[in-house]
Amino acid sequence: MSPNRATAHHWSLLLTLLIWTLPLAADPGLTPPQQVIERVSDGLRRVLREDRDRLASDPQYVYRLVDELLVPNIDVARLSALALGPVWREATPAQREAFAEELKRTLIRTYATAVDALGEWQIQYLPTPFEPDQERAVVRTRIRRPGGEPISVDYRMARRGERWLAYDVAIEGVSLLVNYRSTFVRLAREKGVDGLIEELARHNAERAEP
Q: What is the pLDDT of residues 41-96, one digit of tens each?
A: 777 767 777 877 887 788 788 788 878 878 889 999 999 999 999 999 999 999 99
Pick the closest to residue 155 from 15, 23, 45, 28 (CA basis): 15
User: Domain total for the chain?
Assistant: 1
Q: What is the CATH number of the domain that holds 195?
A: 3.10.450.710
Helix axes 76-84, 176-206, angle to 10 degrees: 100
Sheet of 151-160: strand order equals 122-125, 136-144, 151-160, 163-171, 174-175
Confidence of residue 103 (pLDDT cuts 50, 70, 90): very high
3-state secondary structure of 134: coil
Range scoring the smallest mean pLDDT among 7-11, 27-31, 39-43, 194-198 = 7-11
The contacts found for 179-182 with CB under 8 angstroms, 24 or more apart, are 179/3, 179/4, 179/6, 179/7, 179/10, 180/3, 180/7, 180/79, 180/83, 181/82, 181/83, 181/84, 181/85
Mean pLDDT, residues 21-34 taken together:
65
Question: Is the pLDDT assigned to residue 18 strictly greater than 60?
Answer: no
Provide the pLDDT for residue 208. 64
Residue 132 is part of which domain span?
Answer: 5-206
Question: Is the pLDDT assigned to residue 169 strictly greater than 90?
Answer: no
Identify the bridge partners of residue 154 per DSSP, sorted by sequence position: 140, 170
Confidence of residue 207 (pLDDT cuts 50, 70, 90): confident
Give the C-alpha separation, 79 to 157, whole Å.
Answer: 10
